[in-house]
Amino acid sequence: MNYFAGEYDAVVIGAGHAGIEAALAAARLGCKTAVFTINMDAVGNCPCNPSIGGTAKGHLVRELDALGGEMGKTADECFLQSRMLNRGKGPAVHSLRAQIDRRKYSEVMKHKLELQENLELRQAEITDIKKTGDGYELTTQMLAVYRTKTVIIATGTYLGGRIFVGEVSYESGPDGIFPATKLGQSLKELGLPLRRFKTGTPARVLRRSIDFSELEVQEGDDPPEPFSYETRELGDNKVVCHISWTNDATKQIILENIHRSPLYAGKIEGVGPRYCPSFEDKIMRFGDKPRHQLFIEPCGENTEEMYLQGMSSSLPEEVQLKFYHTIRGLENCVIMRPAYAIEYDCVDPTAMLPTLEFKSFEGLYGAGQFNGSSGYEEAAAQGLIAGINAARKVLGKEQIILTRDSSYIGTLIDDLVTKGANEPYRMMTSRSEYRLVLRQDNADERLTPLGHEIGLIGEERYRRFLDKQEQKRAEIKRLKTTVISPTEEVNRILVSRETSEITTGVRLIELMKRPQLDYEALAPVDTQRPELDKNVMEQVQIEIKYEGYIGKQLKQVEQVKKLENKKLPQSFDYREIKGLRLEAQEKLNKIKPLSIGQASRISGVSPADVSVLLIWLASRKGQ
């Protein structure tokens, strides 16, 4: 028999990376919040790689932190090794990645949820959602009924989860935890457009069964850099990672057994991630490559499990063992957890507004892999925005929309709700047209004022941020006004750095613009330099050296903003506009873009269609 169990302002379904950020944001903004999870021991679980960040993903974590999210702080608390990727390239693609202790990360996040005021963490499977007059009614498997004003669905890969290992297939969530089997049907009955996606993970192998003597060692940075702007220092790296390579024997075993892959045997319906394919998919798609790289990474300080990054598979367990044994260092490895593929239900994200609220269901939000994305960082970013907007909906405040020019988070959400996701969406720096402006080093400058305005950044942290910005402004002014005379020592330094001597006094900022020179090189002659925050020095150098390129990109941003400011009606049939192509009419009616700018990014809407929209919008001005 059903029984009434409680009432909330916001309910979050799922306590993975999206659910955690959503629940914490809603609770911290003053809403009575509950987060439901099938298994409390899986809160903040990292069922795939034991790391946070990476190319473009590191940008997302920094932006989360700048807005007041939790992922960056917890990653710093649980870090094992930290590396800044792509240092050999330009600053736009520098991205932080940290190996973490996955069990500690889960434990720390769970405790943060338990300690958070206004927040209740509950172990229960939500099996039914019904729309009521002023909110939603949720029923659990134990027949408890909860009422709530807003709901955030953050089910990850649990919704209708099914595991595949060769010929073996069974209902399950990741890491052998029960799936959510009934909720999917309830969401379909509600009217949400669900589809099937697929992802996978490599085997975990026993550390002592690996021969490390033949493997390349991958050290962390010294000193390691934190994700959070609140973390003062991390201490030393605690572990090293290792690199190995596949070979012809590995490839041959895959080819001989490809018919046993559920993906190639047609047993998996779901669409997999193009940019993170299974190892057998790599072999079939890139058959000309003689070898593939893999990284051997520790899963934690107090476990002997090692993660084989780059080697996910859904082949039978005995085939996995065969091909792992062909790899240098893994000839005698013992599999502790076999690799597997997992198929799950998710939603078509074009059914949502850029606020992550469903267009047809007021107060219902989606976040994370439920929205068709892939990755912990993408999930957490969406969870934060969904949690903020659910709270603001309850509090009667205007919804927050991050734009493409403001952040990678804005780019991620705009891509999902405007273009949709035909496969699990992964953030990459190439997805942003504003890469040089949206660097990981200036995430606080771009987003901390908004985080403070929303209410997730406290006064003390905001004061430190303002002090840092003042320090930066003062330093740029100093560089512009300080003149370096052409002494013998100055010219010796310039020649040693393979740049031309000076014959007259030169402003320090002009020397800094030279690609061969930086703060370190100029230190002997820049004797009046004040004590500066490392991040301030980095930002100043980048902005000086790339001033022209940054200026061009900012002009581009201003031009695009004009289109973003041209708002479109939400209750309108685009078939009424003469001159729009049929495909454009259909796509515009489906997406219901908020602005001309968003309309221009819809697949199937051409520049000619945008011109028609602009003319039509201008003709409506007086109406």
Whether residue 315 sits in one domain with residue 245? yes
Structure tokens at 117: 């005021």
**pLDDT tens-place string over residues 45-83:** 999 999 999 999 999 999 999 999 999 999 999 999 999
In angstroms, rounded to a whole number, what is the distance separating the alpha carbons of residues 454 and 399?
Answer: 10
CATH of the domain at 514: 1.10.10.1800
Whether residue 124 sits in one domain with residue 169? yes
Q: What b/e string do you get for 489-523 counting C-beta neighbours within 10 Å, with b at 16 or more?
A: ebeebbeeeeeeebeeebebbebbbbeebbeebbe
Structure tokens at 3: 């029984």
Whether residue 60 sits in one domain with residue 180? yes
Q: Is residue 532 part of a domain?
A: yes
Whether residue 395 sits in one domain with residue 249? no
157: nearest Cα among 266, 272, 320: 272
Structure tokens at 256: 């001989």
Q: Say what the pLDDT of residue 622 is.
A: 61
Q: Say what the pLDDT of residue 288 is.
A: 86
Taking 70 as the threshold, does the pLDDT of residue 541 lie above it?
Answer: yes
Q: Is residue 554 part of a domain?
A: no
Task: Read off the pLDDT band of 263 (50, 70, 90).
Answer: confident
Lowest mean pLDDT among 110-114, 138-142, 465-469, 521-525: 521-525
Whether residue 210 sits in one domain with residue 331? yes
Whether residue 517 sits in one domain with residue 611? no
Q: Say what the pLDDT of residue 158 is.
A: 97
**pLDDT tens-place string over residues 464-488:** 999 999 999 999 999 999 999 999 9
Find the helix packing angle between 376-394 and 17-28, rounded to 10°. Answer: 30
**pLDDT tens-place string over residues 160-192:** 999 999 999 999 999 999 999 999 999 999 999
Task: Read off the pLDDT band of 463 (50, 70, 90).
Answer: very high
Q: Is residue 460 part of a domain?
A: no
Q: Say what the pLDDT of residue 331 is.
A: 97
CATH of the domain at 586: 1.10.150.570
Whether residue 351 sits in one domain with residue 339? no
In angstroms, rounded to a whole number, what is the distance separating the alpha carbons of residues 396 and 391?
Answer: 9
Contact indicator for 410, 447 with CB cutoff of 8 Å: no
- Residue that is last in its domain, among 454, 488, 503: 454
Q: How many residues does the chain have?
A: 623
Task: Calculate mean pLDDT across residues 115-121.
Answer: 98
Q: Say what the pLDDT of residue 309 is.
A: 95
Question: 92: part of which helix (H) or strand (E)?
Answer: none
The highest-confidence range among 23-32, 512-521, 524-533, 544-553, by mean pLDDT, is 23-32
Whether residue 122 sits in one domain with residue 16? yes
Q: Say what the pLDDT of residue 623 is.
A: 60
CATH of the domain at 417: 3.50.50.60
**pLDDT tens-place string over residues 135-166:** 999 999 999 999 999 999 999 999 999 999 99
Predicted TM-score (pTM) above 0.75: yes
Task: Calculate mean pLDDT across residues 227-251.
Answer: 95
Task: Read off the pLDDT band of 42 (50, 70, 90).
Answer: very high
Q: Is residue 469 part of a domain?
A: no
Dmax over Cα atoms in the chain, in whole Å?
90
Whether residue 497 sits in one domain with residue 446? no
Query: Residue 600 carries which DSSP code?
Result: H
Please, which residues have CB within 8 angstroms of residue 287's CB and are 6 or more apart in sequence? none
Whether residue 273 sits in one domain with residue 219? yes
Measured CA to CA in angstroms, residue 464 lies from 441, 450, 459, 533 at distances of 16, 15, 9, 12
399: nearest Cα among 347, 353, 360, 447: 353
Whether residue 405 sits in one domain with residue 501? no
- Residue that is last in its domain, among 287, 310, 343: 343
Q: Is residue 139 part of a domain?
A: yes
Q: Is residue 464 part of a domain?
A: no
Task: Calculate mean pLDDT across residues 422-439.
Answer: 94
Q: Say what the pLDDT of residue 276 is.
A: 73
Range of the domain at 316: 204-343
Q: Say what the pLDDT of residue 464 is.
A: 96
Q: Say what the pLDDT of residue 269 is.
A: 76
Whether residue 84 sits in one domain with residue 188? yes
342: nearest Cα among 187, 176, 455: 176
- Residue that is last in its domain, among 297, 317, 343: 343
Q: How many domains is the chain built from?
A: 4
Q: What is the dihedral of CA 404, 406, 409, 412, to 10 degrees?
A: 10
CATH of the domain at 330: 2.40.30.260
Q: Say what the pLDDT of residue 79 is.
A: 96
Q: What is the dihedral of CA 478, 479, 485, 489, to 10 degrees?
A: 110
Task: Calculate mean pLDDT across residues 313-331.
Answer: 96
Average pLDDT along the chain = 94
Structure tokens at 124: 């229960």
Q: Is residue 166 part of a domain?
A: yes
Q: Is residue 558 part of a domain?
A: no
Q: What b/e string do you get for 112-132 counting C-beta neighbours within 10 Å, with b at 16 or more?
A: bbeebebbbbbebbbbbbebe
